[in-house]
A and B are shown apart, each in its own frame.
Chain A
Amino acid sequence: MAAAPPAVGATVSRPEDMTFSGKLIATGGVTQVEGAAGGGLTPWAVIGGGETREEVGATAFFTAVRTHDYGMNAYGALIGLWDRVELSVAQDRFDTQAIGGALGLGDGYAFTNTIAGIKVRVAGDAVYDQDSWMPQLALGAQYKSNNRGGLVKALGARSGDGVDLYASATKVLLAQSLLLSGTMRLTKANQAGLLGFGGADDDYHAELEGSAALLLDRTLVAGVEYRMKPNTLARANPALAPEDDWYDAFVAWLPTRNLAVTLAYVNLGRVVTPTRQNAVYLSLQAGF
């Protein structure tokens, strides 16, 4: 070799103090409505927070969804440990507004769902494994507890709380500036748990969820999502409209590594009443 790097380089001492926020921008995703890192509706296999494999990170989020008839606010936080484990808590408050009055519950009657989540990356790296088809794989669980257990059971649900289990695969196809993600969820939840768990049956249903997003530039991501849902409660209680799948189209803006703003159009389908609920979704996320 003509000129080997000088030996003096070998004396570089790496700073020993704790470092944060080493993750590349956008690679921790945003936060989905149940508090896991992902898109807006569905979890991704990525671990939230700005950390690398040697760091810890955290994010907090606030999401507002406004449909024709309803409002939902969600907020929560997660910590990401060494890009391996994600622990999250979130609270979703579903406000029935005038519909609550029409149903005899009172205007503005609200259901609150509290969710504790864990996700573990089991294999792969969504961003760096660009020389193989291997996606990043993660397994997760979400424990959800509804504060209106008595009412949802009166409506036909079997329980006011439940656990979702899911497996996600996420891949960034960097050469195509494309992100693809798929999740299989085992769930008993009605409307993600806002209307309790189980109904006509008390079985786990396997539901598919997916996201596809284009990386438009270093700070802008646009995509679509689809989330299938079981229809268990309406089969127990014919007075309720059937539950539909959810889908959305979103744009996420990540001006810095610490901030994300997501704006989406969401179609929630029928929720209790026969009206299809088109929603505007706005989410803010801050973290390190």
Chain B
Amino acid sequence: MPALPRRAVLSLAIALAGPLACLLTGCATGPSPDLYQTFGGQPGLVALVDDFMDGMLRDPDLRPYFVNANRPHIKAELVAQFCATLGGPCEYKGMDMRMAHARYGIGDHEFNALVRDLQDAMDRHHIPYRAQNRFLAMLAPYRDDVVHPAPPPRARPPLTIAPDAVVVPEAVPTGGPPAR
């Protein structure tokens, strides 16, 4: 094979240098009104979340979590959360993520399934892949709140009775005939 390639490798390295430079100067990351517009603003997010929820209901891994849930409420919360995350003019006032998920025993498998369903929905809404990744990068840290989080502070410890908590006197009538 001819020795094209040191040059080809070099040009790919240069192609990689672009995003790397971005990385060092911090361009195109984090929330921005720009990214919010890429997602179509409020109408875009409402349509996206509708579709996302429909996708999760079709997903056997996730359907059990949503089929009996108050879906209009969850969708409204998701729209607000997505809008705030992307940099839109919203404030997420919903439940703390850790609190909201603690009791469901959600694992990595389910969390990844949700990410895939979200990616599928974003694909159907023609959101560019790089914008999708900017958004997912901001959502990724939520995994630690959603997957097997520490019990929320309100959770009660399991009810236990110490072995010596109740003292039974020796001469207690047992209810049966005298044992003598």
Please report A residues at the B interface, Cβ cutoff 8 Å.
1, 3-6, 8-15, 19, 22-25, 52-55, 67-68, 83, 127-131, 173-178, 212-218, 222-224, 247-249, 265, 267, 276, 278-280
Instruction: Report B88-144 residues with CB < 8 Å from chain A CB.
Output: 94-95, 100, 103-110, 112-113, 115-116, 119, 123, 129-130, 133-134, 136-138, 140-141, 143-144
Q: How far is the CA of A129 from the CA of B136 in the complex (A)?
A: 11
Q: Quick check: A224 and B13 within 8 Å, CB to CB?
A: yes
Assess A22 versus B1: contact at CB under 8 Å? Given A176-B19, A178-B20.
no
Do the beta carbons of B12 and A176 come within 8 Å of each other?
no
CA gap between A131 and B136 in the complex, in Å: 11
With a cutoff of 8 Å between Cβ atoms, the chain B residues found around residue A11 in the complex are: 68
A12-B108 contact, Cβ under 8 Å, with A214-B19, A215-B133: no
A175 lies within 8 A of B113 (CB):
no
A280 touches B70 (CB 8 A): no
Does B6 lie within 8 Å of A267, measured CB to CB? Answer: yes
Decide if B137 touches A175 in the complex (CB within 8 Å): yes
Q: How far is the CA of A279 from the CA of B61 in the complex (A)?
A: 43
Contact across chains for A14 and B105 when beta carbons are under 8 A apart: yes
Stretch at the interface among B21-29, B46-54, B160-168: B21-29
Nearest chain B residue, comparing its CB with the CB of A54: B107
Q: Are A175 and B28 CB-contacts (below 8 A) given A5-B73, A5-B74, A215-B133?
A: yes
Task: Answer whether residue B179 sits at the interface, using C-beta atoms and an 8 A cutoff.
Answer: no
User: Is B15 on the interface with A (CB-CB < 8 A)?
Assistant: yes
Could you say which residues of chain A place their CB within 8 Å of the CB of B172? none
**Could you say which residues of chain B place their CB within 8 Å of the CB of A214?**
15-16, 19
Say which residue of B61, B129, B144 sits within 8 Å of A218 (CB atoms): B129
On whether the beta carbons of A178 and B112 are closer than 8 Å, the reply is no
Closest A residue to B134 by beta carbon equals A175
B159 in the interface (beta carbon within 8 A):
no
| Residues of chain A lying within 8 A (CB to CB) of residue B105 | 14
Q: Let me know if B2 is at the binding interface, CB within 8 A.
A: yes
Min CB distance A181 to B, Å, is: 13
In the bound complex, residues from chain B placing their C-beta under 8 Å from that of A25 are 116
B9 within 8 A of A: yes
Shortest Cβ gap from B149 to chain A (Å): 14
Q: How far is the CA of A248 from the CA of B8 in the complex (A)?
A: 10
The answer to whether A12 and B104 have CB atoms under 8 Å apart is yes
Which residues of chain B are near A280, meaning CB under 8 Å? 1
CB-CB under 8 A from B152, the residues of chain A are none
Q: Which listed residue, A4, A13, A279, touches B1 by the CB 8 Å rule?
A: A279
Question: In angstroms, how far is the closest chain A Cβ from the Cβ of B179?
Answer: 47
- CB pair A173 B23 closer than 8 Å: yes
Contact status A22-B95, CB under 8 Å: no
Report the bound CA distance from A224 to B108 in whole Å: 30
Residues of chain A within 8 A of B28, CB atoms compared: 175-176
Residues of B within 8 A of A278 (CB): 1-3, 5
A-B contact pairs, 23 of them (CB 8 A): A3-B70, A5-B73, A6-B70, A8-B68, A9-B65, A23-B112, A24-B112, A24-B115, A25-B116, A53-B108, A54-B107, A55-B109, A130-B136, A130-B140, A176-B23, A176-B28, A215-B133, A216-B129, A224-B12, A249-B5, A265-B4, A278-B5, A279-B1
